[in-house]
Structures are given as structure tokens and as C-alpha cells.
Amino acid sequence: MKKYWFLLIFPVLLLGSCAQEPENPLLAEFDTPFGVPPFNEIENAHFEPAILEGIRQQEEEIAAIVDNPAPPTFENTIEALEYSGGTLGRVMRVFSNYNSTMTGPELEEIARNMSPRLSEHSDNIRLNLDLFARVNEVYGQRDMLDLNPEQMRLLEETHKGFVRSGANLPAEEQERLREINTELSSLTLTFGQNVLGETNDFKMVVDNEEDLAGLPESAIEGAADRAEQEGLEGKWVFTLHNPSVMPFLYNADNRELRREMQQAYINRGNRDNDYNNREILAKIANLRLERSRLLGYDNYAAFSLEETMAGDIPTVMEFCHEVWEPALALAKEEKEQLQQMVYDEGNDFQLEQWDWRYYTEKVRREKYALDEQEVRQYFELNTVRDGIFMIVENLWGLQFEELHDIPRYHEDVQVFEVLEADGSHLGVLYMDFHPRDSKRGGAWMSSFRSQRVDQDGNFVHPVITINGNFSPPTSTRPSLLTYDEMTTFFHEFGHALHGLMSDVHYPSLAGTNVPRDFVELPSQVMENWANEPEIMRTFALHYETGEPMPDEMMDRIVESAHFNEGFANVEYLASTYLDMEYHIITEPFDEDDLDEVSKNIEARTIENTGMIPEIHFRHASTHFNHIFSGGYAAGYYSYLWSGLLDADVYEAFRETGDLFDQETARSLRENILERGGTEDAMQMYIDFRGREPVIEPLLRQRGLSEPIDPQVIRN
């Protein structure tokens, strides 16, 4: 998942130059290797004054644009605006990443204090009528300005950004828009803080060793380590962080404890405690609707989808339905298989949500002789990392050199210089792999500096970061990834490549600044190489012996590739439909009934889709960070849409007979990975593929159609 941090805090971030007050390290040019942030010098107390100073500097820069007596031009208005806010951008990138990975009460308080101030600052720019008048004048002359394609794109996107932010609204409606934006910035921030707070708050303490039956040794050892950290020696502590909760749900024989863990997991933000998100999410949905209607749209989904490849609500819903029908049918078959296993074991209970993963793992072991704990012994984190490096080198010649003497914000972080095939510098990559209480859940990519060409014509190389919550090492074992964690690593690395390979001029068009349903293409296409047997053999090495994964185990993994795909697709699509239900409303939720909204919307989604009760939403309402605290509102379908693209892109490699075909890799880089948002996304796709995407590769990839019989393609 690409992290859209400025959708959380600051809608438009424009990078540039300059700083003052060197006593605050955030306000000085970073005098470090490759210009990375001086993490060893940064303290929490530096953030708030640095943010306020960044705002002050950009206010001066905006005033200079507006007060310029010269007629507005592309250079003195559009480019000047693009390069304004350099200090604020630099500070906010560091703060946003800290607030996601190193947060605590102090940083959370700073975020709460600064959120309305940043919202106000953004509105002061986008609703500045004098500034918009200059932008509008340049836009009106666009056909006579002899702009190159990227300049034209920047002009069009800048003008559109003002219009979509309310620059054309009358004064009283602009004032209401400001109020909405301020309230939304606070509510979305609080929503995410609540999810993290409740995730950290829950602990299942096991003091009876018999209750550990079925759990793998690695999970038991991790729980014992956590208990020792909590001062509970001799006991075991399980949490709602994925490396703890998922092994428990897949393996614990104690059905009652599985129920307790699953219910705690799906009800994050849904309890009557300090972390309750029910009213917050309903208020967010209402405010988004009101904002959209002020701007002339029927609902928020219509407003949001206008900027995507899909373009509108009917296209999204029709596309999702094409996958939902076969996925639901397959999930029902899977349910019957699991229910039969329950009966075969002599039980008479009906399968419940807290049973699905447990019996799935049993079927996997029985049908494919695959044990997740056995498989993960071949996915030691650093070996997988080196496998990814090898794949990327074979595709594009990139090289990775670890940097040891460089600032880092946490001792667990790995840092690499990324080099082109000719040895020239491409960028710096930070990788932060493991969960901690100060770190939000999930996996994402972000940056400490995006690629751009500065105002003096210098190429500025990116500093990219990827984050995960992968299984940490224990006192006796290194970090051993599950199969899903391994593919997630590949996914986030694809996002990193999108940021690292960016080769554009203007920062707001660089890297991952593309439509939401296009941004997951580079990440998801990387997962395809992770799943190729001949490639996997190069990095699937036993963590103790170094021996490659046995052919027999590899064959079983290939045979099980589509196992449980009904569940996976239904679980995901159910949350996609849930997202849309919140954002296609045309009338606000009743202010007197906000506490019941999430329950009612979830019930309506289940009824409308025919979702079976044995499967729950991948992300239920009260912990759905993607849409209520992230940038995926009315856009969670994007993973599936990007799946349509990634499956078709990978077919292009397959069609050559060489999964490392250099010409195809070069075309992918030049037409998609390097170009950021400098052109229409569909046109970039057509430039690569020669046509629009087709759905058949996606359905085959997910086991939802009759498979073709491709030969295993070797490099």
C-alpha cells in the first residue's frame, strides 16, 4: 500500500528549497550522506516549531506570487507555486513517517495540534482568489504558451486542483468548506490513532500451557518473549499485531480462545471505550458528502472517482461484480469443504468466522501436505530481500549496497544505496520490517524525499522508505516470513521502485503521484515474480542449512496457488463494497443515530451482496484505516483494478518466453515506472501494452476461470 500521508494532514504538498534557524535540525539543509534526515539530531520538540516555520515561509512565498506586478506566466505563477513550501514539505515528510512508525502520546498530541493549522494553511492557498485568478489566467492561455507535455500536465492539474478545492465557490460556501476540511483533518487523524490505540491495548494472556496446543513453536516463543517484556514471566501474551494474531487464528486448537481473538480483531474501534470509532466514521462520511455536494457532485464517490482510471461509480461496481460472482461461488464451495472437515473430526458445530482460517490450514496440510510453519523456514527475511535484489538486478540492472554509517530513526531499520547498472546513484532505500507499539499496522511505502528537478536544474534523487509488520526474530530464530509476508515484501518493494525510478521534472507529478487505481500496479506486478517456482528457488533457502526448498514442497506450493482464493477475494471485495456504501450516499446519516451507522451499513452490504456469514470483512468499518484515516475512500477497489493491470502486464513478459525479457522490462520502466503522473494513466498503460487491459489474465491469476496451461518459463 502506498501511503498518501498528505491526504491525512495536508492536501497539497509542493516541494522546494531553503531553510533557517539551524539550531532546529529540521529547518537546516540536511548535511548528511545523500541528504537523508539527521535522525540522530531530531527530537519530538523540534516538529511543531518547524511545521509553523514552514507554514510561515510558504505564506511568504504565496504572497510573493500574488503580489508580483508582472503579468502571470507559467514560470512566475505555476512553477513558483509548484516549488513553494519546500521547508514545510521536508518537515512534514519526516513528521508523517515518525507519526506512523515512532509515535506515542507526544507525537500524537503534536499531530492533533497541527492538523487544523495545516488544514487552514492548505485552504488559505487553494481558496486564495487572487492566486487562483493568476492560475486561471495562465490556464486560459495554455494553447498559446508552447509548453512541453509535462508542463501542460502540471498546468492542467494545478488548475483542476484549485477548482476541486472550491476556488470557484461563493464566499459563504468557501467558509463552510474550510470548516469541513478542518473537522475532517481532526476526525481522520483521531480515527487512525484510535485503531492503533486499541490494537496496542488488547492483550490475551495465556497462563495454561494446554491452551497453546496447535500453535507453532515460533508463535509460542514470540508470545513468551512478549510476556517477559510485559513482566509476565512464565506466561504467554498474544496481541492484535498480525505476526501474533494470525498464527493464533490459523493454528490454535482452543476454539473459545480463537473466538475471543477473532472478535477482538474485527471489533477494533467498535467497543464502548476511549477508542470507539463508530460516531467518528459516520461524521466523516457525512462531512465528505457535504463537501462533495458543495463542489457540485451527488456524492463523495462521484467526486473521488472523477480522478481515477475507472472514472465513475457504474464502472467500478460492474468491474467488481465480474469478480464477485465467481469468487462468492468458489467461497461457498470452500465453506462446504471446511464444514465437512468439522464433521469428519466428530464435531457437530457450524463453521464460524473464527474457524475459517483454522480449518483452512488443516485442509492445506491434508490436501497439499503444506505446513505454513515448515514453509516459512525457507523465507528468512534477509534471504528474501537478497532474492528481490537479484530479480530487480536481472530486470533493470539495479544494484543495492548496504549503508551502515548513515542516520536511521530506529535500530531495526536497514538502509541501502540504490545504484543504476552503470554504478551511478539512483536513490536511498530505508526498510523498516517489524511491528512495535509505536508503529501503525499494515505495510506501506512512503518517502523522506521525492524525486524532482529543483529550480536550479539539479536532479534531486529520492529517499524512499517501505514499512511492514513482518514476523520479528525471536530469542532463538531470525525473522522467518510467512508466504503472505513474503509476497507483501515484494509488493511494497514494487512501490519503492515506482518512487526510486521516477524521472520527471515537477515534484507533484513524480513517483507515485498517480491515480489511486493505478498506483498499485507497480507493487502488485512484483508479486508475480515472487510466485514463480524457478525464481522462488533462488531465494527460498532454509534458514539453518541454506538448502533450497525441496522440489516436492515447491510443487505443492504451485498446486495450492489458488487454494482459498474464494475466501481471499470475498473478504477483500466485501470491504470494497462496504467502502462504496459509505460514499455513494446522497443524504447524510441521521445525526441522532450515528452510533448505529456502521452496524446498519455493514448489514446492508451483506444483504446486497449475498455475502456468507462465515466470512467477515477484511476491514470492518471501525478499523477501516484505508478509507477513514488513509487515502483510499471510495478507492479500496483500486487493488483489484490494479490487479487487472498487473496480471495483464505480467502476461506481456510471459508472451516473450522470458520473465526477465530486457525489452519488456525497459518498456515497463520507460512507460510507467519513470513517468509518475505526467500523462493520463490509461495512455501510459497503452504506451506499454499497445492496448487497453483485458480481464482474462486477472481471472486466471486468481483461480476464478478455467486456467490456461502455460509452461513454466525459465530465464
Question: Active-site positions?
Answer: 492
The x, y and z cell numbers of residue 650, run together, are 505480467
Closest listed residue to residue 14, CA positions, set 463, 451, 455, 507: 507
Residue 414's SS3 state is: strand
Residue type, 176: R
The three cell numbers of residue 182 are 478542518
**Rounded distance between C-alpha atoms, residue 513 and residue 456, angstroms:** 23
3-state helix vs strand vs coil in the chain, percent to 5: 60, 5, 35
* C-alpha separations of 309 from 300, 306, 362, 515 in Å: 16, 8, 40, 7
Beta strand ranges found along 211-260 (DSSP E): 236-238
Helix 278-294 to helix 565-583 angle, to the nearest 10 degrees? 60
Q: Specify which residues 465 forms β-bridges with.
A: 430, 446
417 phi and psi, to 5 degrees? -85, 135
Q: How far is CA 670 from CA 77, 174, 576, 646, 685, in A?
A: 30, 41, 32, 16, 11
Neighbours of 682 (CB within 10 A): 15
Provide the 3-class DSSP secondary structure of residue 537.
coil
Could you count the other beta carbons within 10 Å of the beta carbon of residue 60?
10
Q: Own/partner pairs for 416-421, CB < 8 Å, 24+ apart? A: 417/34, 418/500, 421/396, 421/397
Amino acid at 300: Y
Query: What is the number of residues in the chain?
Result: 715
Query: At 679, is the secondary structure helix, strand, or coil?
Result: coil
Query: Residue 399's beta-bridge partner residues?
Result: 419
Asked whether 614 and 351 are in contact (CB, 8 A), the reply is yes
**Residue position matching grid coordinates 478507492:** 635
Q: What is the DSSP letter of 670?
A: I
Residue with cell 466485501: 574
Work out the number of other CB atoms within 10 angstroms of the CB of residue 317: 18
